[in-house]
Amino acid sequence: MTALTRRDALVAVAAAPLAALYASAPAAAAGRAPTLEGDAAVITELLSREHLGAAAYAHAGRRGGSRVRALARRFGSHEAEHEQALATAREALGVPPLETPSRAQALDALAAALGRRPFPRSAGDAVLLRGLLAVEEWLLGGWVDAAGRLRDPNLLRTAAQVLASHAQHVAVLRTAVGHDPLPRALDSGSGG
């Protein structure tokens, strides 16, 4: 099986909607990559999101002050665990590996997905935290949406555990930026 190239992955991620990720990617159109369906398509979308989340924390970890760096290190390690779980699940389904985008490319893709740059140049800690909050709400939205589309019970259980982790990140980041951490009884994130 042919591994997807980094550019293919980035084009696919940046070309929202993510629901059509590989079906719309140039590699898939050219027959070089499989058109994914069902759970394989859903976890591929989720892994793409997690790659971008990890890149966001890597960026904040380099640019932020000590408080932001500590938070980015902790939550970034959670993203790495989510990525590993999804990569393992994809491998089990026989899907070719998805290459990890560079940080710069991932930030471009995040800007496309969110409709704005989450981390403008010369951003201070407050801006970095607001950017991370936007990214986490987008990640949460993806996982809540996936709960309705995944079918494998084991993947659904993993989805429950990961979306709960993202919800906790959201609550912490809302507090960090001075927002109400519990604004709604049913939280579906954003951009699902």
Partner 1 sequence: MVDRRGLLIAAPALLLTACGTAAEPSPTTTPAPTPDGTADAEELTALLAFEQRAVAFYAAAAGRAEGARGATLARLLQHERAHAAALRGALRARGARPPEPPAAGHEGGDPLAGALALEREAVAAYERALPRLHDPDLRVLAASILATEAEHLAVVRSELGRVPAPAAFVTGSARA
Cα 53 from Cα 37, distance rounded (Å): 23
Among 31, 115, 122, 151, binds partner 1 (CB under 8 A): 151
Among 2, 35, 102, 161, binds partner 1 (CB under 8 A): 161
Q: Are 8 and 101 in contact (CB under 8 A)?
A: no
- C-beta closer to partner 1: residue 27 or 144: 144
**Shortest distance, position 108 Cβ to partner 1, whole Å:** 26
**Shortest distance, position 89 Cβ to partner 1, whole Å:** 4
Q: Are 125 and 64 in contact (CB under 8 A)?
A: yes
Task: Find tokens 């609550």 and name the residue.
Answer: 171
**Shortest distance, position 10 Cβ to partner 1, whole Å:** 25
Cα 17 from Cα 149, distance rounded (Å): 15
Closest among 8, 190, 1 to 99, alpha carbons compared: 8
Among 5, 127, 187, 190, binds partner 1 (CB under 8 A): 187
Among 1, 66, 115, 185, binds partner 1 (CB under 8 A): 185
Angle ∠(104,98,37) on CA atoms, nearest 5: 125
Cα 115 from Cα 136, distance rounded (Å): 15
Stretch that binds partner 1, among 7-15, 29-37, 121-129, 178-186 (CB under 8 A): 178-186
**Shortest distance, position 81 Cβ to partner 1, whole Å:** 4
Is there binding between residue 74 and partner 1 (CB under 8 A)? yes
Among 85, 95, 109, 139, binds partner 1 (CB under 8 A): 85
